[in-house]
A = this chain, B = another copy of it.
Amino acid sequence: MALKTAIPKGTRDFNPTEMGRRNYIFDEIKTVYRLYGFEPIETPSMELLSTLLGKYGEEGDKLLFRILNSGDFLKDVSQDDFAAKDLAKISGLMCERGLRYDLTVPFARYVVQHRNEIVFPFKRYQIQPVWRADRPQKGRYREFYQCDADVIGSDSLINEAEFVMIMDTLFGNLGIRTNIKINNRKILSGMVSLINRDEMLTEITTGIDKLDKIGIDGVRNELIEKGMTDKEFKKIKPLLTLSGDNRNKIEVMRATFNSISEGQKGIDEIEVILNLLSGYNFKNQFEFDLSLARGLNYYTGSIFEVKAVDVEIGSLCGGGRYDNLTGVFGLDGVSGVGISFGADRIYDVLEALNLFPESVSHSVKAIFVNFGNNEAQYCLQKATQIRQAGISVEVYPEPAKMKKQMSYADSKKIPFVIFVGENEMKNNLFTIKNMSSGDQQTVNFDNIIEILKQN
């Protein structure tokens, strides 16, 4: 029989090495979130489509994975429906559930549903997979993890300052050099007001968002195509390309916005955050970047983005403040701010820079070679004692050829191999080999535990 096995396009298996590396990233993220007082929640993989539809735009609705109803999924589909081939309508009749597309909408649903049990401000983190029926390509998957943290029910800019510290701490701990950028949607609104083009806010935000990719001339062309005049563009161009340190930028912008209160408010917020961070020792660059726009429409205040310095890749983290996340579920007036780390991109950066600690993928410390039934039974008892000391150890299950047992140890990168033959058994001795140095010594059992504990 031909061996035909496959998994759906855009999905992945993870082997033990990859799992060790992925868990390393997730654990580091959890550790930092917890240090700052965030607590975990989880929501179901499937949500009602009534919760998901209309939250991600028309394009997003198309990218939802829908789950066929159980039982007679055709019972509400008429012959006429079928003939009309209205896919949206028919899928609505056949599917009432879909896979979660992000963690933000389920979180908003969670907050509204559990509003009477939650004590606000609610600081939660959530690390779970999401699913999108996107065209798969390098670095883009149909199933991938998001690692979100949000504070909901607090307007305080202390939250923003702490998120900046969280980003700085995580990338510091991982050893990735990054540029942490901050801006404020109110400043973008102010720029738009400056040229009296309030109605173009979305186009201008979207255009600016591409500055990194298409350069300032590209942005100019796009905005002019969308109806901006050359004169108007010349007025905002110097702001988008403003250089200097963060305090300088604040001064220039404050002058620029002297009659635009929304813009002033944005500048005030940035300044408060900078002040809160003034005693903080950054491990990464931290930059007030007037050209940072972030695509998502629901942001209303601070916005964040983190880029790797040494690898050319999309942002490793993004986020911002939103004034009305739960409004769509009928609960108004709940402000929040949150960030999301991109675990897959962080993985790629750590791999590209060779920054994964060797230890993260290999948990087995030693293996007993199997010389036969008697020896194996003896080793099993000794292995139990080693495990009781919290050390991971294996007994090779078969009395196989030495070469096979050693290549097994090698493939699992097990650092120590322990040999107990007839002689050793008789004398209560153990021969232990350090696989990286090749050193071999014959010692008693207490020494074995000591050696394994030390390494």
Name A's B-contacting residues (CB within 8 A).
1-8, 11-16, 19-20, 23, 34-37, 39-48, 51, 62-63, 65-68, 70, 72-74, 77, 79, 82-83, 85, 87, 90-91, 94-97, 99, 109-110, 112-115, 117, 119, 121, 123-124, 129, 131, 133, 143, 151, 154-156, 158-159, 161-162, 165, 169, 275-276, 279-280, 329-331, 363-364, 367, 370, 376-377, 380-381, 384, 387, 390-395, 397-398, 407-408, 411-412
Contact = CB atoms under 8 A, between A and B. Distances in A.
A376 to B, nearest CB: 6
Contact of A13 (B44, B46, B380): B44
B66 A5 contact: no
A143 to B, nearest CB: 6
Given A114-B13, A363-B39, A381-B280, A159 B397 contact: yes
Contacts of A123: 394
Nearest to A154: B397
Nearest to A91: B68
Given A87-B74, A114-B13, A19 B42 contact: yes
Contacts of A23: 40
19 contacts: A3-B115, A3-B331, A8-B97, A14-B41, A15-B114, A16-B124, A34-B363, A35-B387, A37-B367, A46-B65, A65-B67, A68-B95, A73-B87, A79-B82, A121-B398, A154-B398, A158-B395, A276-B380, A279-B384
A426 B13 CA distance: 58
A384 B79 CA distance: 65
A109 B393 CA distance: 28
User: Which among A5, A6, A34, A161 has the highest number of chain B CB atoms within 10 Å?
Assistant: A5
Shortest 6 CB-CB contacts between residues of A and residues of B: A11-B44, A37-B394, A16-B39, A156-B397, A1-B330, A119-B411
Contacts of A94: 68
A95 B91 CA distance: 12
Nearest to A94: B68
Contacts of A19: 39-42
A70 B134 CA distance: 9
Given A113-B13, A397-B151, A398-B156, A412 B39 contact: yes
User: Which among A96, A367, A381, A391 has the highest number of chain B CB atoms within 10 Å?
Assistant: A381
User: Which among A11, A67, A95 has the highest number of chain B CB atoms within 10 Å?
Assistant: A67
Given A39-B19, A46-B143, A381-B280, A5 B82 contact: no
Contacts of A8: 44, 46-48, 96-97
Contacts of A1: 330
